[in-house]
Structure formats: structure tokens, C-alpha cells
Structure 1
Amino acid sequence: MLKHYTARTARAAIAMALGGAALLTGCDQIDTRIERAREIADASVEQINGETVIDPTYRNLESASPEDRALAGTVVTAEFAIDDEDRPMFAIGSIIAKPLAIPDAESVDIVEDAEQMEAELDYFDSPEGEAMMDAEEAPAAAPPAPAPLTTQEPGSVFLEVQPAQVMPKITLDPRDAEESREEIAQASRKFDQVVIQDDTKRLQMRSLSKQDLEAMAPEDRAETRKLARRAPIEREVVRKQLDANTVMLDTMSKYGVGGEVALSRQGQMVIQIGADGANPTQFTGRNGPADFLARTEAAECPEGADAASVGDDLAVATACVVRDLRASGQFEYVEQDYIFQNQFARKPKDTPYGTPGETKTGSTGSTGSPTGQPVSQEPDDPLWALQWHFRDKGTSEGRTAGGAGFESFWNRQGVRGSDGIVVAVVDTGLQMSHPDIAASPNIMQGYDMVSDPRMGNDGDGRDIDANDPGDMCDPNKPNAADSFHGTHVAGTIGAAATNNGSGVAGGAWDVRIVPVRALGKCGGRLSDINDAIRWAAGLIPAEVNEGPQVWTEVWNENPADIINLSIGLLGACPASLQDAIDAVTEEGVIVVSAAGNARMSTSLYAPAGCRNVVTVAASDARGQIAPYSNFGPEVMVLAPGGDLTRDDNGDGKPDGVLSTKAATNCYDPVTGEGVENCFYAYEQGTSMAAPHVSAALALLKSRDPAASRDDIISTLRAALDPRESLQCAGLCTQYPGAAPIEGSPDMCARPCGVGLLNMANVPLKATDGGGR
């Protein structure tokens, strides 16, 4: 614990801080960074020697309980060389594919002609239809099943309306190919007889005109749009997937593997292969991650490969099946199930930070907005004073050069969020027992989309529990620890209860957060992330096992307006991920992505390099690009991501982003006493930058709920602070081929977006009458 530090430990802290700075000298000016690290380390020595002075103007800090104010006392500085841990991996035995010529959401006609539409709408006016609608809307715990709606016209898309149905899984076993072919045929016959529409209300809703929607009450319009997103099971989509199973069976037979194929409503198929034809998630490996994860470059399919040459190497068999399915010409895409990681900018290099030294900035409130509006009213969360990243931009007291201007927006616009706006956080889940989250009204029902129990770390696969049990991959590695990454990200957006006299504030006080757990032990599967994105947007259901062979569908009843992806893969955007992003974008959802922390082009990272995403690079407390941040033309905005090796705002603390996260080795910032466990920590990374933009977009959507996706993004873009070339610069030696900056021949520009996030620049709505 920190209170047991000695002078020897203090000297070690200085050495480690200087060592961490030395790692970064290629990304920034050497002398400046080393001097700043020395100042931070000196502040630690002052604390250790009992010289800490706590500024009494820190509002509510002394009156808060230690639990509500204690911080993590160890920060993890970054190393930026790409090593083996960063190189792409995939889940052994897992493949994602989509057959050719599956119609997208825009090209599928829900009802084939006007006469059929009229006939179906007449049903809702009939006694049977009205009875069904009344039954659906009744508050009874178990309403009667709806009467089936049957249409007999040839080629009808919807033949029968039934309760929710789970998409099938088909077992392919090369040891009994005939039985496998019969299983495919049986599934085909079933879907010839019954093609399922999930909700008769959606059929009625899709006939409504824009004028009809505008005439609805807001709550009815929201419900209608929610139902509109839900993807039906289309006959042609299922047919293409069933036909593809024959190709898959032949390919698997070639390499002596069988497996299970899961079908989906939007055509994407997940193939799980295994030497004995079983689902690989049922395997129990003894050697840790090596049993179920492999490096892509180490699993190439040799020329002339067959079952004998592949043998028991399931990783190579996976690569061979992918290669042959691609060569068949039957698929829009086929790809390995890549593993994504969170985007904390960290490697295992711990630096004891200690309680900060003399506090220099205080928390006396802002000096008023730049437009002369009344003095800001700050949230009463005791650690608000340390959240420089939400502060107004400036150099006067209470401001920070790299602040994002949330403070002015909250007060000048009179908008702190809305319970009608939803942000989904696709990440590691959420620590539901966190004291600043457990009682938060902002948390909605989420879902655990991690399908592989070995990665789930919670004893099972997918379920409705989005709690984060930890994601530590290999406990034998030095400094291995659970990241609780999703909790930190969600806290910045608004998962933490703001203005509750405890802990930290969030960027959007009153929005709704839907946690979707897609990353677990050792990362997250691409197939799980794809499903998480679609489920978060309300397009597809998830499944819940209610007993032997009994599965039901669970829809997201709070479909997202914004989806935050603080995740990354070193590689170009996978086709299946782009497919998922495009699907939700068509429904008006804004997808926000972290740029990545490898200080390379975002075109080499996903989802940062995907189309239809708002890509966010990280800035420090000066408003300059952080040394770890990726960059490139795909970046739209710079937002606070922090730099733990600096203290540019002069508060004696590292310039990381402070948010919710359980931690150990903590300290009380008032007494300087060590605390064993705490719930708040500084972190750095583009993972921290992205949620600032998600929170900003949520505030803009709260201010103008009827605005379209493009309008909200345009408003944000127009409010960015123009940046100077040096704000996105680095040493030319580190960026070969980059253009030197005029007047600074050693520094080269890195594309890092249109400008810096600054919510204080958002103009008042014309209908506001000049302010509040």
C-alpha cells in the first residue's frame, strides 16, 4: 500500500517515470517529456514525505467518504512497439461467411404488392386481429398466443405469424454425409412451409407514411421505429444459407472435420468446425489460450492440403476451409473469426504514482461561458475537479487547454442528456456492483454476447447478464490483470450516476446506457462483435436457453442511437464487420470507433478504418495528439484520451482520463493514506477518446431528438476547434514519407481529423430564443 512507501521507493518512482518517458521520446520532444515526468515523480516524493497539500477549494472532496473519492495509485504507461501480442489472432475452428446474392435490408420487399398489403391490413381491422392486438397490449404476465395470420399467395414473403423463433443450427458431419444432407433438406422443407415474421405490429407499421409517423405521439413514434428495425426472417435469406451448407459439407469432408453452422436473419453464417464435428466451445483445453486462439500468419493452408496432411492441426484446417470456401465463388465473404482487443494504451510497465503533490487548479467553478452566459453550475461529484477532460478549454482557473467544453454545453444549452437517448457500449461488459453504477438510473438491460465459455470467464456462453467478471488472458504473465475496460468507457459516457455526491461525473448525465459484453478473456471474437452491434441497434434478437433444446429470442428493448466501439484489430476492416456497421447505419445509428493505439494509419486498424464510422483519435491535456494515437484521413475528430506521463494542467496528477473502474493499490486524495481497493482510476488511450464523442453525440441527440444521423454528425463537426499543424505532429524520423511542417523541418504532420472536440462551440438552437 502506498502509505508504506520509503525514500528508496520514491527514488524508484522517479526512475520508472523517467524510464517511461524515455520510451516516448520518438513521439514527442525529448527534453520536454523527460522534464515533465521528473516533475510528476517529484510530486510523488513530496507526498511520500508527507508534504502533500490538498487545495481546500476542491468542492465536496473532503466531505465525501473515502470510498467515494479514493483513486488507483498505480498507472500503466505505454510502450508503442508492435509486438507479437498485437498481431492478428483468430478463434481456432470459427469461420464467418455470407452467401452471395442475399438481398440487403433496402432491397427486400416486406410485402410483395399493394393488394397483399391491403389484405393484411384488413386483418388488423377484423375481430381476430383486434383481439390479437389487445392480447399483446394486455398487462397480463402470460398473454394468449396470437392467432396465426396465413397468406396463401404464391411467393408471399410471410406465410405465418408465430411467436418468436430461434434461427436454426445445422450439424455437418463428414463421417455421415448423407445424414448431414438430410438435415439440410429437412431445414429447407421446414422453411418452405413457414417463413416467420416476428411481430405483426411491424407489418402494420411498415405501411405507415412519413406523415403518419410525424402525427404520432413521441412515445408511439419511438415504439414504431423500434419495431421497424427488427429484421424478419426472409425466405430468400434462409434459402441461400441452407444452399451454402452443401458447399460447406463438401469442403469440411475434404479436411476430415465436421462442425455446426448457425444461420442468421441477415445472412451472416458462423461455422464452428472441430475434429469430431462438435462445437468447439464445448472443448476444454488444458494449455490456456493456445488451445483456442492462433496467430493468423502461423496457420496458413499449404498447397495440396488434404485431411492426411492437415492432421489434427485445427488451426490449419480452419485456414484451409476459409481458402476453399472463398475459391468456391459461392460467398460474398469468408473470413476467420478474428480476435479484437480493447484500446487502453498500455503495456505491462507499472509506475507507482502516489498521491499527487500540491494541487494547483482547484474547483471553484468556471468563469462563465465564452459567450457571456451565466456562471456554470458544476456537478457535485467529488472527483469532478480532477476530470480536466470535461472542462472548458482555456488557460484561466478552472479550465484546461485540452478540455472538451462539456461544462459550457451543459449550462449554456440547458441540456445534460435525455432518458429517450440510448448509447450502447460494445465492450467487456459493466461492473454492475460498482457503487457509482449499481444505483444509476442510466443502466438498461444489456446482454452477454460472448459465445465461447473459455473466453466468457463466467462459466457459460451467451446470456442476459452483461456483468464483467474480468478479462485477464494469461495469469502467468507479469502484471497481468483484469482491465474492466467497459466500465471505464461507459463511465465516461454516462453510466456513472452524475451529480450524486459520489465519485465522478459522466459526459451525458441522463442518457441510457446499454452494456453489450462482446470482449472477454483474451479479447473478443469478430462473430460476437458483429452480433453485438446488430443486437444493440435492435436489428436482431439474442438467444436465451430456457432448458434442454428450449431457446427463446431476446430483443433489445432499448435500441441504440449511438454505438461506442472502443475496440481494435490490427488489420483492414473485416467484411463481416463492415456488413454489420452498414446494417445499423442504414437504421440511423451512429457508430463511434477508437482510432487505435499503435501510432500508425487507421487504414490498418478496424473498426477505425471501416466506412460509416466516426473515428476518434486521442489528444492530451494540451489539445495535441497523444503519442500513442493512430492517425489518418479516416479520423474525424480529436478528443481527450489522456497521457499518463504528463501533467500539463498542473494539478499534480497524471493527465489521464478519470472514470469508473475497480482497482487495487489505491490512495485517499485527501488524507494521503493508502487504500486497498477503490473504484476510480486514470487511464489513457483512444478507448478513452471515443466515449467523449459518444457522450457529445448523445447530448446533441438529446437536444434535437428528431435530427437525423447525418445532421447530428454535421453539428458536431461544425463545432470542432480548428487545429494547428503542430497539434498533430511527430518527429519525421518516426513517420517516413510524411511532409515536414513549414518552419519545423524535424516535425511532420499526421492527419488527425478536422479539429478538436469542443462542445462549448455548439450554437444555441434557433428556437431557444437566445439562451437560457
Structure 2
Amino acid sequence: MLRKLMSKPAGLALGTAMAGLLALSSCDQQDLRLERARDLADSTLDQLSGRTIVEPSSPNALEAVDVADRAIAGTVRNDMNFETASASSMFAIGSIIAKPKNIPPAEAMAVVEDDALFLEDPEALEEVAEEEVALESAPDADMDAITAPAPAAPSTTRSLTVQPARVMPKIKLDPAAREQTLQKIEEASRELEQAAANEPAPVKRTRSLNTRSLESAPVIEQKAARKLARRSVISRDAITAQRDANSVMLDTLSKYGMGGEVALSREGQMVIQIGEDGASPTQFTPERAPRSALQNFLAVDAKLECPDNPDMMQVQSSPVLATECIVKDLRESGQFEYVEKDYIFENQFARKPTPDTPTTGTGVTPDVITDASITPNDPLWDLQWHFQNNGSGEGESIGGSSFQDFWTRQGTEGSEDVVVAVVDTGLQLEHPDIKDSPNIAPGWDMVSDPRMGNDGDGRDSDPNDPGDLCDPSVPYAADTFHGTHVAGTIGAAATNNASGVAGGAWNVKIVPVRALGKCGGRLSDINDAIRWAGGLIPAEDEEGNEIWNDNPADVINLSIGLFEFCPASLQDAIDSVTERGVIVVSAAGNARVATQYYAPGGCANVITVAAGDARGVIAPYSNFGPEVDILAPGGDLTRDDNGDGRPDGVLSTKAATNCYDPLTGDAVEDCYYAFEQGTSMAAPHVSAALALLKARDPDATPDELKATLLAAVSPRSAQQCSGSCALYPGTTPIEGSEGMCSRPCGQGLLDLALVPEKMSSGGE
């Protein structure tokens, strides 16, 4: 059984060592005395450093826990057919994303550089700091109403009431009442202009008037400064541009005899919903649904072109054609920077809906690691080859990413000051390895359409994942709980708690942002989720109050995908957060195509991650190409190259059925851990690695962290990043390897053992 010596008090350890040495002083055998002294000293150092040792005679870690803490889902499968993706993308009928031209980049309220705060309006900081003091000093009865909820059930989130709620409004566009609608637009614009006048003045990109040291500022004031550092003010230019754009939208809808609703944004992005009722995207009832009656608000993107002189009746009778024509007209107006359909993104699990194979395990007990490395005592650790040190020795994996080496040599398993936001399907907050985890911060549900939300409502403060099953009529389809698996790999699960699995960063703050629901996630929701996660825009509660993310992300993980070139609005959202110092990590995609055709992996300003297997070879399903930055463990459920009797998938948290006990091989009905595969699984390894690097070097810039990450790679040969030319059309043949073509998979395989140890302050 694994025993963590760090759990004993340091004083007891030293006392034990000293007692042992005193007992040896009466011994005449000097050599034996010295040898035993060295052993005791080594044991004490192990204890004080937090290293784990193994008692060879003790039972295996799996035997020491209940079945519920070790049961898993997933066996080696040979029924997966990895084909090059050919399916068209989908979009939400009647939902359009647009941004008016000539809107300047949003400015932050304040900028923090090199631990100094540059603020044109110091009173704004003092005002927020006073409110933080009020929150900290409020009576217990009041605190219940204004503080953030417990991590296990974040039903509300603390909001800074700097000003009355100023969330950009929704405006109903009614062509039949044009003058009244224009008047409402003008009134809303005036209200927003007045609110903008009351905003703290933004700091320009140059260094500004007042320099204040954060070191000398009170702790509460420091917190307020960092929160202000990313918040976007309302630009008067943005308000004016959106007001003028609303008139164009009204005219376009009037042309086709339709109504609709437009939602505005602080940063200029607008979402238009066609239909008389703003509660639903469209009033159309298509004769034939694209998937099933449950999904009649989605359409396959057939690249339908709107005719030059469309018949109004024809447009009114076809929701897809109406969407295409309105997009075309708005683009041709010359009023917009971009206009595009509201595409539907999917998670990046690489699997086909197929019957589960029998899930009885082999009953093979994994070998126990016997070195002195820092090793978590989670019983399923030995099945997590993807975190283990890169190598071919005992307790190592050729495809491993060497997290264990990093924990041991770098002296850190993470920091609660580092925040990783997971924009995904949400999080199973009642998962037994997550509900008591100290790593979960309040998140948000950004799924706006209740039909996709699957939880009975739209956007709210509950990021819990209720399931995302799209079409129950599809054989063997099931809820994925994708976000829980992704977040568990990063560090959502409580690590070193003698239960379940380990995460890459033991101590990290995870902010779950739900943007994917039933049948996927809207581009418009994902854009807002990215901005909210980065601390740039507020969400809105049921009373219309602004709810800011009190834990702005250092890293945002996007294990999502769309078979399209990077949408302009998505690139806009990514750029807006990366300009404020956020690192965005993206899955390359599982379509077996060049990543440039996929989003967000093909977008600019992201770290794009391809998937490798337990051999350190690019997985058959993974996208590839020059856009890929790095290869990381994504798994392959069809292989067992490490010979442990399990599939070489990535093992992480998620509720599953049809499970088995890895110790005995007995079938278990339900479990909380599962092997999965995909570039979705590769991306969170990189996010966790960045969290560890940020914890080690908290003052490092995003560019410095990226450089350190991309230098910590094991180069791959042409054969390791290749595939059959017949299976990957358009790839380049490899000279000397008949029938094999190059699939570029980044600068190399993630290998944290290659991160140099941090130099001491004295340069030693």
C-alpha cells in the first residue's frame, strides 16, 4: 500500500531519525551504524519533501479502497472505424452573429504590469476596494446573501456592484412598427451612453498617470485591482455602431416580412434571432427535421446560396434559406466587420456510437512503482500512463508526459492562485472525486437555448452538466459528461486523496463554464463563454444584475471542434482574451484532416494540441498540420501497447455505466471513471502543464510560459507523425517509407521532464 510520509508532522520525523541515531551510538559496528544513519536520513528527507515511498510487503493500492473508488469503464475495442471526416457542420436556424465595422478594441478599466498598477482613475479602484472590505466585514447573516456559494453547488456567484446593472440589452426588432422600434433603439442607446459616461476611464496602452505598487497595497485592494484589470468598459463608439447596425437589421428583416431580436455586447458583437418571438430562434416549422423532431432548430450547413432576387414567400417558407439570405444582405450592406451563421460546435471525443464490448477486466494487478518520486496515492494512478514519466522502464510510459518527474524535481504540484477555465459541457458537481475537491471555483452556464440546455432553462449560475444526449433514437448514444473528463485531467478531481484518479495539477482553481449542451454548443454561447471566463464581460442573473467571473482565467481550455475555417467571431473572442494575457489551449480536432479546416484548432493565437497514443505516436483520428503546436497524450482505445490489460485511453473522471472492477475483473453496473480518447483528452494535458509552469513561475508572461512549454517536448520522427497515404488524402509521402505520408504533429511530444529546474535567486 502506498504511504505518504508527508502526512506525518515534520517534527515527529526528525525525532524518529534522532532517536534512531542515538540508539546506534552504542553499536560497535561502525559501518552498519553509518549505513543505517544514511537510510534514516534519506527516509527523513523523503518525508519532509513530500515524496512517497512504497512498502513492498503491503497490499496493492487497489485492494485498500472500496469498489466505488476504483471501478472503471472502457476496454480495448477493435470495432472503431477511424474514417476521414466528411460530415458537414451544423448551425442554429435563424441565429446570426455580426459585428459592426470600426469598433475600436475594448479597453480595460485598469492594467497591471510588473506588480505595478497603472490607473487613470484611482478612485475607481478605491471604490471597488471599499466594496470588497464591506463584503469581508459583513455580518455572517449578510454574507450568506452576498458571498459565493460552496464549490460543490455554485448556485450563485458574488457580484461587484460597482454601478447599477449595465448589461447590454436585448432589443425586439419589429418591422411592422418601424418608427417605434427605432425609438426604442435610440432610447436604449442613450441609456448605455449615460452608463458609459459613468464608467471608470480606461487606461491606454501606454503607461499612464499614476503608478502604485501592489506590494504596498492592502490585500483586498490588490484583489480588486486584478479583477478590474480585464474588465471591458462600454465604448461610446461601440454603442453608436450597434445603434446604426440595428437600423440595417430592421430594414433587412422588413424586406422579408420578418421580426426578430438582437442581443448587444460590450465588445460590439451582436446576436440576431429571427422570429416574431424573441424567446425562440425562429417561428418556422420545417417539414423535415435534420436529425429528429427534438433537433428541428438545427440544420446541416449545405452551403445553400441565396438567389440574387429571392422570392419573399420562398424565403418565409424556408428557415435555412431565410438565414442564408439575411446573412448575405447584412454582409452586402457594408455595415459589418463580419456576419456569420451561429455554428454548432461538438466535443472532441473520438468515438463512434457502437455497442459496448463486454466490460469484464482481466483482473491484472498493475505493478507498484517502487521509486522515491512524488506519487499520488489515488488507487487508479498506475493506469494513468499519460501522466507517468516518459520512458520504457518500470512505472514509465513511452507516450507519457512526465508530470510525475515535474512534481518531483520542480517542487510543486500546482497553485490555487492559478486559474484554468474549462469551456465545455459543464461539470458533474456531485461526482464523488469532485464534490469535495478544493479546486472548484464558481462557474456559469452560458447555454442560452433551453432546448440545448437540457436543464429546463437558459443561462444561469449553475454549471452542472445534466447530460448532452442529442438524439435518443440513435443506437447506443449516451450522455458524454465530456467536460467532467476534461476537467478531471487538468485537476478538478481531488488528487492524493486515496480515491479514484489523479489530475495533472493537484492544486489549481478550475472554473467550469458550460457552453455545450444537448446536440452541441452555439458559437454565440462559446464566444460569450470565452470572454466571461477571461473576465472581460459579465453574465447576467435573473434580476438583470451583472455577474463577473471573480476568478479570471490564466488558461482557457477549449476541447471543442467545428469542421469549418475559424469563424471570425470566434477569432475575435480569442483575440480579446489573449490580448489581456490569457493563454488559450485548443484541441486540434478528430476529423483526420488538416487542422486549418477546423476550429478552434485552426484559429490564430491558440496553442493547438494533437493527440498521441501510449507509444508517443500521433493517434489515427487526430487532425494534423503546421497549425499544430504540440503532441500530447490523447489515447487510443483500440490498443494496449503497455500490456496492462486496459485500453490505452486517457483515464479520468466521469459517470459511466457497464463498468468493471480493475482488481477482480468483475462487472460493475455504474462507476465514476472512464477511459476516453480524442484531442479533447490531449488539450487538458497541455492546460495542466501550463498551470504547473505558472505555479512555478507566477510572474512569467504568457509568451514566456508558452516558450517554456514548447521547449519541453520530445521531438518526433517522420514515422511517428505519419499515416497511410490512402487514409489521409492530400498529405505528403515520406521518402523511403512506401505508402506512408507525413502528418505534422507539432514541435514534439509534451515531456515535462525536459523543463529545466528553476534557478535559485542566487543563480545557483
Q: TM-score, normalised by structure 2?
A: 0.83
For the residue of structure 1 that corresponds to 2:105, the secondary structure is coil
Q: How does 1:96-175 map to 2 (within 5 A)?
A: 96-105=97-106, 121=122, 138-139=137-138, 162-175=163-176
Q: Which residue of 2 aligns with 1:233?
A: 234
Q: Which residue of 2 aligns with 1:749?
A: 742
Q: Which residue of 2 aligns with 1:716?
A: 709
| 2:513 equivalent to 1:516 | yes
Relative distance call for 1:130 and 1:468 in structure 2 (3 A) is closer
Q: Which residue of 2 aligns with 1:246?
A: 247
Relative distance call for 1:689 and 1:713 in structure 2 (3 A) is same
Q: Which residue of 2 aligns with 1:320?
A: 325
Q: Which residue of 2 aligns with 1:602?
A: 595
Q: How does 1:165-314 map to 2 (within 5 A)?
A: 165-195=166-196, 197=198, 212-213=213-214, 216=217, 220-221=221-222, 223-274=224-275, 276-280=276-280, 288-297=293-302, 299-314=304-319
- Aligned match of 1:424 in 421, 429, 438? 421
In structure 1, what is the Cα distance between the partners aligned to 2:424 and 2:311? 38
In structure 1, what is the Cα distance between the partners aligned to 2:69 and 2:95? 44
Contact 1:202–1:228 under 8 Å retained in 2:
no
Q: Aligned partner of 1:594: which letter?
A: A
Q: Aligned partner of 1:691: which letter?
A: P
- Calculate percent identity across the aligned residue pairs: 61
In structure 2, what is the Cα distance between the partners aligned to 1:122 and 1:402? 54
- Aligned match of 2:638 in 631, 645, 648? 645
Q: Aligned partner of 2:393: which letter?
A: S
Relative distance call for 1:58 and 1:383 in structure 2 (3 A) is farther
Unaligned runs of 5+ in 2: 1-55, 112-117, 144-160
| 2:563 equivalent to 1:570 | yes
**Larger mean Cα displacement after TM superposition, 192-201 or 342-351:** 192-201
Q: Which residue of 2 aligns with 1:614?
A: 607
In structure 1, what is the Cα distance between the partners aligned to 2:75 and 2:198? 53
In structure 1, what is the Cα distance between the partners aligned to 2:416 and 2:446? 24
Contact 1:75–1:350 under 8 Å retained in 2:
no
| 2:368 equivalent to 1:363 | yes
Contact 2:565–2:596 under 8 Å retained in 1:
yes
Q: Aligned partner of 1:453: which letter?
A: P
Relative distance call for 1:767 and 1:299 in structure 2 (3 A) is same
| 2:409 equivalent to 1:412 | yes
CA apart distance, 1:216: 4.9
Q: How does 1:377-388 map to 2 (within 5 A)?
A: 377-388=374-385
CA apart distance, 1:559: 0.6
In structure 1, what is the Cα distance between the partners aligned to 2:555 and 2:739? 40
| 2:395 equivalent to 1:398 | yes
Contact 1:57–1:363 under 8 Å retained in 2:
no
Tell me the alpha carbon deviations over residues 21-67 of structure 1, each in whole angstroms, 9 at most, x when there is no partner.
Answer: xxxxxxxxxxxxxxxxxxxxxxxxxxxxxxxxxx9988410111011
CA apart distance, 1:281: 5.1
For the residue of structure 2 that corresponds to 1:322, the secondary structure is helix
- Aligned match of 1:678 in 671, 682, 695? 671
- Aligned match of 1:585 in 557, 561, 578? 578
For the residue of structure 2 that corresponds to 1:280, the secondary structure is coil
Relative distance call for 1:680 and 1:574 in structure 2 (3 A) is same
Q: Which residue of 2 aligns with 1:765?
A: 758
In structure 2, what is the Cα distance between the partners aligned to 1:599 and 1:57? 46
Q: Aligned partner of 1:678: which letter?
A: C
CA apart distance, 1:277: 4.6
Relative distance call for 1:305 and 1:283 in structure 2 (3 A) is closer
**Aligned length, in residue pairs:** 678
| 2:683 equivalent to 1:690 | yes
**Larger mean Cα displacement after TM superposition, 226-235 or 526-535:** 226-235
Relative distance call for 1:180 and 1:529 in structure 2 (3 A) is same
Tell me the alpha carbon deviations over residues 693-749 of structure 1, each in whole angstroms, 9 at most, x when there is no partner.
Answer: 000000000001110000000001111111111110111223345333233132121
In structure 1, what is the Cα distance between the partners aligned to 2:268 and 2:120? 29
**Larger mean Cα displacement after TM superposition, 751-760 or 349-358:** 349-358
Contact 1:361–1:398 under 8 Å retained in 2:
no
Tell me the alpha carbon deviations over residues 635-680 of structure 1, each in whole angstroms, 9 at most, x when there is no partner.
Answer: 0100000000000111011000000010111111222221111000
Contact 1:360–1:650 under 8 Å retained in 2:
no
Q: Aligned partner of 2:710: which letter?
A: R
Relative distance call for 1:119 and 1:734 in structure 2 (3 A) is closer
Q: Aligned partner of 2:238: which letter?
A: V
For the residue of structure 2 that corresponds to 1:190, the secondary structure is helix
Contact 2:109–2:201 under 8 Å retained in 1:
no
**Larger mean Cα displacement after TM superposition, 287-296 or 132-141:** 132-141
Q: Which residue of 2 aligns with 1:434?
A: 431
CA apart distance, 1:226: 2.2
Tell me the alpha carbon deviations over residues 273-301 of structure 1, each in whole angstroms, 9 at most, x when there is no partner.
Answer: 11x25332597989534421011216542
| 2:548 equivalent to 1:537 | no
Tell me the alpha carbon deviations over residues 116-151 of structure 1, each in whole angstroms, 9 at most, x when there is no partner.
Answer: x999557989xx9998887577536779xxxxxxxx
Q: TM-score, normalised by structure 1?
A: 0.82
Q: Which residue of 2 aligns with 1:481?
A: 478
- Aligned match of 1:342 in 324, 347, 359? 347
CA apart distance, 1:377: 2.5
For the residue of structure 2 that corresponds to 1:764, the secondary structure is coil
Q: Which residue of 2 aligns with 1:81?
A: 83
Contact 2:585–2:687 under 8 Å retained in 1:
yes
CA apart distance, 1:395: 0.9
Q: How does 1:435-474 map to 2 (within 5 A)?
A: 435-474=432-471
**Larger mean Cα displacement after TM superposition, 256-265 or 163-172:** 163-172
In structure 2, what is the Cα distance between the partners aligned to 1:58 and 1:580? 52
Tell me the alpha carbon deviations over residues 77-113 of structure 1, each in whole angstroms, 9 at most, x when there is no partner.
Answer: 64333567x4111111111000000000369999xxx
Q: Which residue of 1 aligns with 2:69?
A: 68
Relative distance call for 1:755 and 1:768 in structure 2 (3 A) is farther
Relative distance call for 1:279 and 1:706 in structure 2 (3 A) is same
In structure 2, what is the Cα distance between the partners aligned to 1:667 and 1:105? 52
CA apart distance, 1:239: 1.3
Q: Aligned partner of 1:567: which letter?
A: I
Unaligned runs of 5+ in 1: 1-54, 111-116, 144-159, 367-374
Relative distance call for 1:57 and 1:683 in structure 2 (3 A) is farther
Q: Aligned partner of 1:139: which letter?
A: A
In structure 2, what is the Cα distance between the partners aligned to 1:727 and 1:675? 37
Q: How does 1:9-20 map to 2 (within 5 A)?
A: none
Relative distance call for 1:347 and 1:361 in structure 2 (3 A) is same
Q: Which residue of 1 aligns with 2:524?
A: 527
CA apart distance, 1:475: 0.3
In structure 1, what is the Cα distance between the partners aligned to 2:382 and 2:129? 57
Contact 2:84–2:727 under 8 Å retained in 1:
no
For the residue of structure 2 that corresponds to 1:734, the secondary structure is coil
In structure 2, what is the Cα distance between the partners aligned to 1:744 and 1:192? 65
In structure 2, what is the Cα distance between the partners aligned to 1:357 and 1:328? 65
Q: Aligned partner of 2:478: which letter?
A: A
For the residue of structure 1 that corresponds to 2:693, the secondary structure is helix
